[in-house]
Amino acid sequence: MEDFKATLHTIVEGLEKLGKDAPAEDAEVYNCPLCRDTGYVLRGDRAWPCVCRSSSLLREKKAAAGLTARLQMMDFDSFDLHCYPDYLKNDDGKSYRDIASEAMQNARSLADSCAAGKTGRGLLLMGKVGCGKTHLAAATANRVLDQGGEALFLVVPEFLDQLRFSYRRENEGLDEAEIISRTYNVPLLVLDDLGAHNYSDWVCNKLFTIINHRYNRNLPSVITTNLDLRDLEDKIGDRSTSRIVEMCRISNILVPEGQDHRLGTLV
Ligand SMILES: [Zn+2]
């Protein structure tokens, strides 16, 4: 990674110098006057990726990590704490705003430590549909990837469909072992919407395998769910639930009744 950064730095410096010499009219014709939209610039006898490619490469990397274009737009700056009223409190007297703010800070520091190569506890973000938990989970993954780290964002119902499909048609596409192994050692795993739908014993066992593998290696996960802990235990089993509780900080994000934040900036 350091080598890559040093190379990129050299390229950027060279291109900035080239850019100063670029004819002024090019700026009006091409989106990128440096490479004239080819994505490459010539230096000496070699073609180098242009700086304009680094942002599209990052978008591709994020897409490969499971972040759709919509999820890629979710960052900590666009997480609006004003959606969480200060005047409403939970049973412990903590305001909705403080709960959301704490969850956001935990998520941000998890992203930074993960990008720095550290392991540790993850986050369990609980709350009803539209409370902003997917936004925080996506912001965490985006921040890790922005800093050159690795993350994998899985929408659990889709992931389980993929797993079942691979099980039925093992010889086509990714097989089950490949799909599961992607989740094992990635520095940050996001499991979005855990507990939606009914889980068979087979699915519960697969989930436990993943969660237990990461638990044993102290690898952080961000898990979101609409369920409370009792319902989560009914859905995915007590073994997985107790592992999750041990390996995660828990935030129960609250929003006012009858408000759907998905219509605004939150998901
Ligand atoms: Zn360019």
Residue found under tokens 């440096």: 34
pTM for this prediction = 0.80
Q: How far is the CA of 34 from the centre of ligand 1 (A)?
A: 5
| Cα(86)–Cα(93) distance, integer angstroms | 11
Cβ(14)–Cβ(8) below 8 Å: no
Give me the pLDDT at residue 12, please: 47
Which stretches within 78-200 are classed as H helix? 96-115, 133-146, 156-168, 176-184
Question: Cα of 41 to ligand 1 centre, how many Å?
Answer: 7
Same domain, yes or no, for 136 and 205?
Answer: yes
Q: Residues 10-46, buried b or exposed e (16+ Cβ, 10 A)? A: ebeebbeebbeeeeeeeeeeeebbbbeeeeebeeeee
Helix (H) or strand (E) holding 152: strand 151-155
Distance CA 162, CA 263 (A): 29
- 30 Cα: distance to centroid of ligand 1 (angstroms): 9
Question: In this structure, is residue 40 part of a structural domain?
Answer: yes
| Residue 33 CA, ligand 1 centroid: distance in Å | 7
142 C-alpha vs ligand 1 centroid, how far in Å? 23
Q: What is the pLDDT of residue 165?
A: 79
Q: Is residue 200 included in any domain, yes or no?
A: yes
The CATH number of residue 214's host domain is 3.40.50.300
- CA 10 / ligand 1 centre spacing (Å): 15
CA of 267 to the centre of ligand 1 (A): 34
Cα dihedral across residues 87, 90, 94, 97: positive or negative: negative
d(C-alpha 45, C-alpha 47), whole Å = 7
Q: Cα–Cα distance between 189 and 214 in angstroms, integer?
A: 9
Length of the chain: 267
For ligand 1, the distance from its centroid to the CA atom of residue 17, given in whole angstroms, is 14
User: Is the CA virtual torsion 255, 258, 260, 265 positive or negative?
Assistant: negative
- Structure tokens belonging to residue 17: 């110098």
Report yes or no on 221 lying in a domain: yes
Q: What is the pLDDT of residues 118-167, one digit of tens each?
A: 999 999 999 999 999 999 999 999 999 999 999 999 999 999 988 887 76
Give the distance (Å) from ligand 1 centre to CA of residue 36. Answer: 6
User: What would the pLDDT profile of 88-109 be if each residue is shown by its tens digit?
Assistant: 999 999 999 999 999 999 999 9
Ligand 1 centroid, distance to 26 Cα (angstroms) = 12
Q: Are residues 26 and 97 in the same domain?
A: no
CA 44 – ligand 1 centroid, Å: 17
Q: Are residues 83 and 26 in the same domain?
A: no
Comparing 170 with 31, which gets the higher pLDDT?
Answer: 31
What is residue 15's predicted lDDT score, i.e. its pLDDT?
47
Quick one: 163 and 94 in the same domain? yes
State the residue range of the domain holding 43: 2-54
Q: Give residue 168's pLDDT.
A: 67
By the 10 Å C-beta count (0-12 exposed, 13-18 middle, 19+ buried), 253 is classed as buried
- Note whether 10 and 71 are same-domain residues: no
Q: Quick one: 48 and 173 in the same domain?
A: no
Check whether residue 45 and residue 139 sit in a common domain: no
pLDDT, tens only, 187-217: 999 999 999 878 899 999 999 999 999 999 9
Query: Do both 111 and 216 map to the same domain?
Result: yes
Same domain, 81 and 32: no
Distance between Cα 47 and ligand 1 center (Å): 12
Where residue 186 falls among pLDDT bands split at 50, 70, 90?
very high
> Is there a single domain that holds both residue 81 and residue 209?
yes
Domain annotation covers residue 154: yes
Average pLDDT over residues 214-242: 97
Same domain? 151 vs 125: yes
Residue 19 included in any domain: yes
Q: What percent of the chain has pLDDT over 90?
A: 64
For residue 147, what are the contacts with CB-CB under 8 A and spacing of at least 6?
111, 112, 115
Mean predicted confidence (pLDDT) in 61-86: 96
Q: Provide the domain count of the chain.
A: 2
Q: Would residue 30 count as lying in a domain?
A: yes
| 60 occurs within a structural domain | no
- Dist CA 126 CA 196 (whole Å): 13
Same domain for 84 and 8?
no
| CA 53 to ligand 1 center in whole angstroms | 6
